[in-house]
Structure 1
Amino acid sequence: MLDAAALSGNQALAAACVIYLGVVFVTSRGLIAAPRYRALLGRIRDCRARIEILSAIDSDPTTQATCTAVERRLDDLEKHGTVVWRLLPRAGVVAIPLSKLASAWRVLHNAERRLLRLEKDDETGILLRSLSLELAASKHPADVELAATLSGAPGSGPEASALLIASYERLHAREDASIDAEFEQHRIALWLATTGVGVLLALGMALDHQLTMLLGALGGFLSPVIGVLRPQPERPRSWGVLVLAPVGGALAAVGGLLLVRLLADPDLNLLGQVFLDNSWDAPNQPLALTFALLFGFSGSLFSRLAATATRQFAPPAA
């Protein structure tokens, strides 16, 4: 009977892990990468429209050659396999690697600055004033300073064009750095989530704590849900936190019960007999399951308990 119950618990844990990996894949492709990729395609279309206008109003060979080169670069971004992975050229998107997407944004920014060099004086003046108003409304001190510089610049001529290109280069560099940092955090979170699922499956086969892990994962899921439902959330939740919360909750639940058992051991006797009887050695007791849910819900609770256990073994201060 115990073997059958353990097998059933392992099957439930494995099914939950498989479903979770599917959710992580959909989240990575459909909720993180896909919106950025659709924005990239929109900007590419805008560049193509601008190329058509510039080619029609200026027959200079340099302008035509630049437009052709930029258009070929944009063609490379839309080529099969450059940014997205498809089974067939016209099939649906299978995956959008974040590293490729970040590189594609850099290429697009470079193409946009190339087209700025071809703008006429009247269009340069419009772009300069528009960028100045946009930066003036920013909360970043450097943007306000740059807006003041742009507002005092001439509206046409080589100096205005150079200032406009330099301003966009600065903004693009900051945007590229922000995208790289954001995508790096997403990649780390996805790797930790995938590795954590493997650890959960290994622990589930070695220990009789399948229900503990499931309740810890439930607690980890409820924590950001309740944070979103609060009238005034303390801070916006990132995708990395949302993806890692169930895995971290499941692992914290197992580790938390082990820490409770340690601190309730008769040799230490810091928590008492009730915690000793409802922790690691009795994971299916209602109180132990409640502990698992709480540990999964609150990472700070696990941290404080781990700090308490650490202090018991730390050498006394001199």
Structure 2
Amino acid sequence: MTNSFYTIYKKTGYHIRRIGIDMTSRFLRNNWLLNDRPGKCILLYHGIDLIGQTSINSRFISAQLFAQQLDFLQKHYHLVSLSDLVSDKIDPDRMNIAIVFDDGYRNNLQLALPILEKRQIHATFFVTAINHTQYSMLWADYLDLASNLSHAKITVGGDEYNKKNGVYKNVHGVSLKTMCKTHDWSFKKKIYTSFPKIEGLSQLEEWEIYWKTLSDEEIIKLDKSKYASVELHGYYHENLDVCSHTEAVRLITMAKHYLENLLQREVQSIAFPDGAYTRDLIQSCFEMGFKKQYAVDYLFPEDKTDPRIHSRLTINPFTNLSHQVWAILNNKY
């Protein structure tokens, strides 16, 4: 089966499944969703805003929706900390759910934490070492913001990119974000200087809730909460499967030293940026002291039986309650 055919096959199955879930939910008025069942799910969030704006950062949901989702999950299922979930300190007769956040946005502290603390729900926050670099914004957030504000043709790495339907693509139709994900940091860092001066880009305060990351002091404050733990999410938020193994290990080592010096404790968990990793990297991270490692989807067949790595389900801001809960209970969309 070719990759393109397999992609079409997966997308078709996904849409057929969504239609079936919606029809069943309307007929049974969602009662079928409330049936608890044994299982485990690590539910991944990124950012929280005030209005649920997805045009700048499509991984965000509103604070109101976040609170509603937690209330629903807490009422019908069993919410536990990530450490308890992966250590099997769970209720074997229920669906056990752990809440995690990636990327280390400031809104995690300002908006998400108060909601978690009010409900006494623990969450783990995976942060990068971006504060240890010359950059103030993660590359993907810079690209999202610049692409939203810019319309001019740009050149990155000698190739021209034109904006089509809101997305910068090269002459082969490949998006700039895809190129960044499939190339190492030497390519990614070029986007910071590839966009011309954009009106409004110098006034980023208007959009900073969608890109501003935690300061060192805020990371420490977050980690001190009874309902929060801070762990590692890479150095630049690099894709660790496209750089050399030696470079990947070097970057993770620097990031680990940064975060451990900041928190004054050992950091034993890492969530791979963009869910990108290799099997060799799992072993190297384990040898570095990362007892628990987190992907998004498993990338290799061996991962499913490897106790060192765990998959996570990313919250979908664009789906309805029926499909989201079905995904949580089945660990897939």
Q: Which has the higher contact order (CA 8 A, sep 6+)?
A: 2
**TM-score normalised by structure 1 residue count:** 0.23
Q: Which has the larger share of helix?
A: 1
Question: Of the two, which has the highest radius of gyration?
Answer: 1
Q: Which has the larger share of strand?
A: 2
